Amino acid sequence: MIVVMKVGAPEDEIARVSDEFSQWGLSPEKIVGKHKVVIGLVGDTATLDPLQLQEISPWIEQVLRVERPYKRASREYRHGEPSEVWIETPAGKVGFGEHQPVAIIAGPCSVENEVMIVETAQRVKAAGAKFLRGGAYKPRTSPYSFQGHGESALGLLAAAREASGLGIITEVMDTADVEKVAEVADVLQVGARNMHNFALLKKVGAQSKPVLLKRGMSATIDEWLMAAEYVLAAGNPNVVLCERGIRTFDSKYARNTLDLSVIPILRSLTHLPIVIDPSHGTGWWEYVPAMAMAALAAGTDGLMIEVHPNPPKALSDGPQSLTPERFERLVGELATIGKAIGRWPQPALALA
């Protein structure tokens, strides 16, 4: 349920109303919007009568029921206002959100060695990326494939962060590794294969770093939003959704089917920011630029793109990785669309 307070509702009245809901055994969550304060109510609200709730205070404008299975993730929960996820990077704060410029995450599938990760970081930063991606722990279909360098790769990501000023996004696969990964990462990635790992979702929800939640390869949109709900319900409001392609009947020419229709659909269902990953979405670097541009035109808040200095030699996902040169060219093309739709970052102001 959501309780919409009237414009100008006094702070102590909002606190009093929230206290009263707490006494009823509900969990009130105050959401400060641009114009109004909304109190989200989660708990056993089935027997409550919205009209009766309205009687609690003359400052309550409206009480609405959230009919969807996900509550905190629903668009209604913030009374239609999009949420923004702000991330501290060494180069300043970067936001993911509907009213923010598109944020680009780029880097290799796996962290292979210090030279490659630092150089890739510097190249993608120069081209306009705000975050470096790179896996230390890799979820691989075969146990005989490269599994990632693990903890030592976290150290290399820290070095790349230092050298480039980029924020770091890296995957955590195991609940036991969450703290260790969160020491280095600015954003924790939960991969497609772990979207249904509820223990992991609860664990990343109980810590403070933002979470990039990839869509499971066969997950419905509702299942994906319910996974996000796990993170939100555990106390972490900073969730970014990432579409990375789904399994359909045809995988002959593309590794997955990149579902760009989720952009307008998610906009209507949830307030959470959206990132599109055209690299895993298509599986082939040749198709990445067209899908990245389409995603930007369709209104994505971020793009995640795999970039490797020498794709034929990559330890994972070489065929879908752009070279730094191709990435630079793509960012140039994205800029044209980004500027036309008002979603391109302003160049930093030159200091006089």
Using CB under 6 A as the binding rule, whether residue 150 contacts ligand PEP is answered as no
Residue that is written with structure tokens 């120069």 in the block: 126
Single residue of 29, 177, 301, 317 touching Mn ion by CB under 5 A: 317
Query: Which of Mn ion, ligand PEP, none sits in contact with 139, Cβ below 5 to 8 A by type?
Result: ligand PEP
The pattern of x and - marking residues 153 through 192 that bind Mn ion according to CB under 5 A reads ----------------------------------------
Residues 302 and 128: beta-carbon distance below 8 Å:
no
Nearer to Mn ion among residue 104 and residue 232 (C-beta): 104
Single residue of 79, 203, 214, 271 touching ligand PEP by CB under 6 A: 214
Using CB under 6 A as the binding rule, whether residue 262 contacts ligand PEP is answered as no
**Which range touches ligand PEP (CB under 6 A), out of 23-31, 95-103, 186-194, 288-296?**
186-194
Single residue of 191, 205, 283, 324 touching ligand PEP by CB under 6 A: 191
Nearer to ligand PEP among residue 40 and residue 107 (C-beta): 107
**Which range touches Mn ion (CB under 5 A), out of 103-111, 165-173, 204-212, 281-289?**
103-111
Q: Minimum distance between the CB of residue 253 and ligand PEP, rounded to whole angstroms?
A: 18
Single residue of 90, 139, 264, 332 touching ligand PEP by CB under 6 A: 139
Instruction: Say if strands 131-133 and 167-171 run parallel, antiparallel, or are unpaired.
Output: parallel
Beta-bridge mates of residue 214? 242
Using CB under 5 A as the binding rule, whether residue 109 contacts Mn ion is answered as yes
Map 143-175 to HEC letters.
CCCCCCCCHHHHHHHHHHHHHHCCEEEEECCCH
Q: Minimum distance between the CB of residue 255 and ligand PEP, rounded to whole angstroms?
A: 9
Under 8 Å CB-to-CB from 261, ≥6 apart: which residues?
Answer: none
Residues 243 and 215: beta-carbon distance below 8 Å:
yes
| DSSP per-residue letters across 79-115 | TTPPP-EEEEETTEEEEESTTS--EEEEE-SB---HH
Q: CA-CA distance, 179 to 192, in Å (whole number)? A: 20
Using CB under 6 A as the binding rule, whether residue 149 contacts ligand PEP is answered as no
Q: Minimum distance between the CB of residue 193 and ligand PEP, rounded to whole angstroms?
A: 6
Residues 242 and 258: beta-carbon distance below 8 Å:
no
Q: Minimum distance between the CB of residue 84 and Mn ion, rounded to whole angstroms?
A: 27
Q: CA-CA distance, 194 to 200, in Å (whole number)? A: 8
Residue that is written with structure tokens 């036309």 in the block: 340
The pattern of x and - marking residues 282 through 321 that bind ligand PEP according to CB under 6 A reads ----------------------------------------
The residue type found at 332 is G
Single residue of 244, 255, 271, 308 touching ligand PEP by CB under 6 A: 244
| DSSP per-residue letters across 210-266 | -EEEEPPTT--HHHHHHHHHHHHHTT---EEEEE--B--S--SSSSSB--TTHHHHH
Residue least distant from Mn ion (Cβ): 109
How many other CB atoms are there within 10 angstroms of residue 144's CB atom?
7
Q: Which residues bind Mn ion (CB under 5 A)?
A: 109, 317
Q: Which residues bind ligand PEP (CB under 6 A)?
A: 109, 135, 139, 191-193, 214, 244, 280
